[in-house]
């Protein structure tokens, strides 16, 4: 699919001006969630103290799929930071 998109981008004269993520984010979230859930149910992952989940284990699953360069951060604004709302930035595929 990326080859077909790149051909269309080239045809339109937009080389070097367009990017997408290397991994579809919706599929990344589903796959990482399922893999994390399996490990949680099988007892391989236990929640962090004072939490209902294990952040390190969750991030590990996300990076397995998105790549080690994947950046994960908490959402924050003028009201503060939300500890249960993550922003994910995957590496780019440049056309």
- For the cut 90, the answer to whether the pLDDT of residue 2 exceeds it is no
User: 3-class secondary structure for 25-91?
Assistant: HHHHHHHHHHHHHHHHHCCCCCCCCCCCCCHHHHHHHHHHHHCCCCEEEEEEECCEEEEEEEEEECC
The per-residue pLDDT for range 7-18, each reduced to its tens digit, is: 999 999 999 999
pLDDT of residue 21: 86
pLDDT of residue 85: 94
The per-residue pLDDT for range 30-73, each reduced to its tens digit, is: 999 999 999 999 999 999 999 999 999 999 999 999 999 999 99
- For the cut 90, the answer to whether the pLDDT of residue 22 exceeds it is no
Closest CA to 42 of 30, 34, 51: 34
């Amino acid at each position: 699919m990326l080859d077909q998109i790149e051909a269309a981008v080239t045809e339109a004269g937009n080389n070097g001006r367009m990017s997408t993520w290397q991994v579809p984010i919706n599929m990344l979230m589903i796959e990482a969630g399922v893999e994390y859930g399996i490990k949680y149910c099988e007892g391989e992952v236990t929640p962090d103290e004072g939490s209902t989940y294990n952040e390190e284990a969750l991030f590990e699953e996300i990076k397995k799929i998105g790549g080690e360069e994947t950046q994960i951060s908490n959402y924050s604004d003028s009201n503060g930071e939300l500890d249960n709302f993550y922003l994910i930035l995957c590496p780019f595929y440049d056309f």
